[in-house]
A and B are shown apart, each in its own frame.
Chain A
Amino acid sequence: MGDLKLLYQSIPEIGALYRSKQLSPLELTRLCLKRIEELDPVLNAFITVTAEKALLQAKQAEHELRSGHDRGLLHGIPIALKDLIDTAGIRTTCASRILKDHVANRDAQLVQRLEVAGGVSLGKTNLSEFAMGIAHPDYGPTHNPWNPSHTSGASSGGSAAAVAAGMCFAAVGTDTGGSIRIPASYCGVAGLKPTYGLINLEGVFPLAWSLDHAGPLARSSGDAGLLLQAMTGQSQLWPTQLSGMHFGVIQREGKGIQPEVTAQFDAACAALLAAGAKVEEVQIPDLGQADTALFGVLLPEVSALHARWINNQPEDYAPLTRTQIEMGFAIPAVTYVRAQQFRRYLTRQFLSVLDKVDALLSPTVPWAAPQEDPVFTGDEGTLEGHRTVPHNLTGLPALSVNVGFANNLPVGMQIITKPHTDAFCLGIGSALEGLLPQAQLHPGSPIFK
């Protein structure tokens, strides 16, 4: 099997090669590191590559697998971590000047779990500064593997690009308003924002405590489920039959949506219908207030968190990050509390509809990857997050899977289910991916030789 084909195998396929001794974790890790060396000068997906540690972990995995100590399907699999997740002895910068030299003395809890599962960490991936949507000039943006003149998305763009480019097999991202699902959509990979609270965030630098989620990005929903399983210790695989299922469509249309995105979304819905599912439009009352509610919660939480630094060293932030942090100081407490009330109100509206359908569907983002990330508190940024933000407010699991292409760039569909049905959500994603083999492609732009 050629190197490139190997780098795009699924995690279970790699596991089978390991266990039949046709491939070793050390060989695959070396291949991934070579891939990073070749492509990262173009993509800028990694802030820190931990080659030495990865090779040690791979060697240990190889030894354990050969001696019969099998930790499960993630054992010996090369993965990556967004660079706001603490790793003992390795810097965690949050892609900021402020924390450029920060080195935690212990691993985040999710990192501890991934190590127990035998994952091989290749390094720390790029993100927008403090996950706020704007790349700090000291780090620069991550470019899209499908077309490097476009963005890979904010804020987990490094994780999404690394997975899409075949640098690693899965990566951890975080999502406060769409930061896993937007890059997943732009890069054509599966990205799950799990149920709020499912993944422990101890050792993950916050953006806004009450909205933050960590979650997996991978080239398929099945592989994302394996990473989630390792981070939660719970089974996250739920084989799902689409025939007889009932889907509700929300936010199909709206301001700024590209006709090509709607066309790909409709084609995926048609595939579900052809598979025997029922698909109909449904309404969520007062969904239009979700964007405001997110800012009403997020900005004051961000400002409280950054109060010391924004007072003492404001010039160390990227200019637009600074502006967004400053905005939160001018938002009254009543606005914050009312936005928090609205979240509970909105969740009840969603659950009422989810009592009548098995899952909700929407386009993930209204467009394919733009050339630059929009400012998330601006008009374009609000439109970009319009379909992802509601699920940070409610905490419901929401998965983006690739369903096609517009102008040679990926287009994502979002699947939303009830709280604590993450495995079911991934099962739907997996079944949908099976219906759309033409969407399960890998980047083929000229930089990939």
Chain B
Amino acid sequence: MMIPLLSAELVRQVSSLAGLELSLERALELIAGLEPIFKGDAEIARLELGSLSPIGTAWPGDEHG
């Protein structure tokens, strides 16, 4: 997976789609925190998690869950 090259404009647009209007200045401030998350996500994507369900209790077969 390619790690996206973040720009203030991209962060502003994506945040707007998710319901938050940011100035370009504030969007720019977020990039330093976001880049390591996207980089780490790219590492997780390489694990080929396939059809592993993202919901329910984290451990399998839990009768308490």
- B29-65: which have CB < 8 Å to A? 29-30, 33-34, 36-41, 43-45, 47, 49, 52-55, 57-60, 62, 64-65
A323 to B26, CA, bound (A): 8
Q: A292-B36, A377-B33 are in contact. Are A329 and B15 (CB under 8 A)?
A: yes
Interface magnitude class on chain B: 35 or more
Quick one: which of A289, A340, A346 contacts B55, CB cutoff 8 A?
A: A340
A345 and B47 contacting across the interface, CB-CB below 8 Å? yes
Interface residues of A in 318-375 (CB under 8 A from B): 323-324, 326-327, 329-332, 335, 337-348, 351
A332 to chain B, nearest CB (A): 7
Q: Is A311 an interface residue (CB 8 A)?
A: yes
- Which A residue sits closest to B22, measured CB to CB? A326
Q: A338 to B40, alpha carbons, bound, how many Å? A: 11
Q: Are A307 and B20 in contact (CB under 8 A)?
A: yes
**Do A394 and B49 have beta carbons less than 8 Å apart?**
no
- A343 lies within 8 A of B58 (CB): yes
Distance between Cα atoms of A396 and B62 in the complex (Å): 12
A442 interface residue (CB < 8 Å to B)? no
**Inter-subunit contact B59/A351 (CB<8 Å):** yes
User: Is there an interface contact between B58 and A393, defined as CB atoms closer than 8 Å?
Assistant: yes
- Choose one: B19, B30, B40, B58; the contact of A289 (CB below 8 Å): B40
Q: How far apart are the CA atoms of A332 and B15 in the complex, in Å?
A: 10
Structural contact, A330 and B47, CB atoms closer than 8 A: no
How would residues 283 to 318 of chain A score, 1 for a CB under 8 Å from any chain B CB and 0 otherwise? 000101101110110010001000100110000000
B58 & A330 in contact (Cβ 8 Å cutoff): no
Question: Roughly how many angstroms separate A424 CA and B57 CA in the complex, as a whole number?
Answer: 21
Q: Chain B contacts of A331 at CB under 8 A? A: 34, 37
Q: Are A311 and B64 in contact (CB under 8 A)?
A: no
> Which one of B11, B36, B58, B64 lies within 8 Å of A347 (CB-CB)?
B58
**21 A–B contacts, CB within 8 A, in A order:** A196-B58, A197-B65, A288-B43, A289-B47, A292-B41, A326-B20, A326-B22, A329-B14, A330-B11, A330-B18, A330-B27, A338-B41, A338-B44, A341-B54, A343-B58, A344-B52, A378-B33, A395-B58, A419-B59, A419-B64, A420-B64
Additional 18 contacts, C-beta under 8 A, given A196-B57, A289-B40: A292-B40, A293-B40, A311-B20, A326-B26, A329-B14, A330-B11, A341-B49, A342-B49, A344-B52, A344-B53, A345-B47, A345-B52, A348-B59, A351-B59, A394-B59, A396-B59, A419-B59, A420-B62
A-B pairs with lowest CB-CB distance, top 6: A292-B40, A340-B54, A329-B15, A341-B49, A329-B20, A347-B58
